[in-house]
């Protein structure tokens, strides 16, 4: 960046240096107290010294709202960016990112996050701690699964996951009550599915815990050690309403199909309390075989009216 920039344009609000071959941004950037939009797409940023030191402590850290660094060479999200607490829009598409740092949760004002076209393999659960996030773009990566915690993004309107390696979705995704667009095309879940029916028998502690919860046996913190009280609070209800059971650690992990928008059937991950809650003849390649599957379809139909677009192909 040219020297004296802050002296020439002290009230500069928007700066676009895209496509200029820029390899680093100098300290002049730190002296722009009114800058709210910085566009630096399609440059050579990403090496050591690409961003000025002290970025997180500069006035810019409070004023900047929009930052676009797509089409550069960043192999990781620079830690300095996570100190820009006023950011509402962050774009790092088309870089060389292999992951998303858990500290992304520090950007509490973020509404738009674009990380498409990278090499990301996993989504940290901490991403779900962005209360204002409305648009999340993770397309064209190498993501194999979605953490169920993502259902905590209650403000989310659009979720782009096309061209990844997804074979199923967590059933919790139905809790995204404001989601209007879900893009899934180009994932293996469109053409093939997986099923895992491995089941480890419950421990004696779990058997006792299941009995306490299913029979509503009363207990108070004074009756049991603190560790057991905490354990009992972790009980999960079996999604099959015909069962009414609970589970703690031992459960059946299974893919179930649900109907979205009356046209597409999506595989969602379910956790059943025992193999008996699923038909022994069911198969992941069949459209509907068990009672628990039809129940999950009913559950999905409640959410389907909220989904305006499901893009599979």
Q: What is the mean pLDDT of residues 7-23?
A: 84
**What pLDDT score does 310 carry?**
54
Could you tell me how many residues make up the chain?
A: 313
**What pLDDT score does 71 carry?**
96
Round to whole Å and give the CA distance between 153 and 135.
Answer: 10
Exposure of 254 by Cβ count < 10 A (0-12 exposed, 13-18 middle, 19+ buried)?
Answer: buried
Name the more confident of 30 and 120. Answer: 120
**What pLDDT score does 185 carry?**
82
| Helix ranges (DSSP H) in 9-156 | 60-63
Contact 253, 269 (CB under 8 A): yes
CA nearest to 70, candidates 101, 112, 27, 122? 112
Element (H, E) at 252: strand 252-260
Contact 123, 102 (CB under 8 A): no
DSSP 110: -
Phi-psi domain of 54 (left: phi exceeds 0; alpha: psi -120 through 50; beta: other): left
pLDDT at 258 exceeding the cut of 70: no
Name the more confident of 62 and 4. Answer: 62
Exposure of 279 by Cβ count < 10 A (0-12 exposed, 13-18 middle, 19+ buried)?
Answer: middle
Q: What is the mean pLDDT of residues 132-145?
A: 96
Which has the minimum average pLDDT: 66-75, 145-154, 259-268? 259-268
Strand, helix or coil for residue 55: helix
Mean pLDDT score of the chain: 81
**What pLDDT score does 266 carry?**
67
Given pLDDT bands bounded at 50, 70 and 90, which one contains residue 156?
very high
| Token pair listed for 80 | 């300095």
Which has the minimum average pLDDT: 10-19, 25-34, 89-98? 25-34
Indicate the Cα dihedral angle 178, 184, 189, 190, nearest 10°. 120
- Give the tens place of pLDDT for each residue, 275-296: 777 653 333 333 333 333 344 4
Contact 117, 92 (CB under 8 A): no
pLDDT at 298 exceeding the cut of 70: no
- Give the tens place of pLDDT for each residue, 26-53: 888 887 888 899 999 999 999 988 998 8
Task: Kindly report each contact of residues 8-15 with a partner whose C-beta sits within 8 Å and lies 24 or more positions away, as own/partner.
Answer: 10/34, 13/37, 14/39, 15/39
| Token pair listed for 84 | 């820009």
> What residues contact 96, with CB distance under 8 A and at least 6 apart?
46, 73, 74, 75, 118, 119
Rounded percentage of the chain residues whose pLDDT exceeds 90: 44
What domains are there in the chain, each with its CATH number? Answer: 5-201+252-271 (3.80.10.10)
Name the more confident of 304 and 184. Answer: 184
What's the first-to-final CA gap in the chain, in angstroms?
43
- Give the tens place of pLDDT for each residue, 200-210: 788 999 999 99
Round to whole Å and give the CA distance between 196 and 213.
Answer: 27
């Amino acid at each position: 960046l040219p020297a004296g920039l802050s002296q020439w344009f002290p009230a500069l609000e928007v700066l676009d240096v895209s496509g200029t071959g820029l390899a680093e941004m100098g300290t002049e950037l730190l002296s722009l107290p009114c800058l709210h939009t910085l566009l630096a797409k399609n440059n050579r940023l990403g090496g050591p010294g690409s961003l000025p030191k002290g970025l997180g402590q500069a006035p810019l850290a409070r004023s900047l709202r929009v930052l676009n660094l797509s089409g550069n060479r960043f192999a990781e999200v620079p830690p300095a960016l996570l100190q820009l607490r006023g950011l509402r829009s962050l774009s790092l598409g088309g870089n060389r990112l292999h992951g998303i740092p858990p500290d992304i949760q520090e950007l509490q004002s973020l509404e738009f996050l674009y990380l498409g076209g990278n090499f990301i393999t996993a989504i940290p659960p901490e991403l779900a701690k962005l209360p204002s996030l409305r648009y999340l773009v993770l397309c064209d990566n190498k993501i194999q699964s979605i953490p169920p915690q993502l259902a905590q993004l209650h403000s989310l309107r659009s979720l782009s996951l096309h061209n990844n390696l997804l074979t199923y979705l967590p059933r919790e995704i139905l809790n995204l009550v404001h989601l209007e667009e879900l893009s899934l095309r180009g994932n293996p879940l469109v053409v093939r599915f997986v099923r895992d029916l491995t089941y480890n028998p419950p421990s004696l502690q779990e058997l006792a815990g299941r009995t306490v919860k299913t029979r509503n046996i009363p207990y108070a913190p004074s009756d049991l050690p603190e560790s057991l009280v905490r354990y009992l609070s972790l009980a999960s209800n079996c999604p099959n309403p015909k069962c009414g059971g609970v589970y703690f650690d031992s459960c059946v992990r299974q893919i179930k199909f649900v109907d979205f928008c009356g046209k597409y059937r999506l595989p969602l991950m379910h956790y059943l309390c025992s193999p008996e809650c699923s038909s022994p003849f069911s198969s992941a390649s069949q459209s509907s075989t068990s009672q628990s599957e039809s129940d999950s379809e009913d559950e999905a139909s409640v959410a389907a009216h909220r989904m305006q677009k499901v893009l599979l192909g």
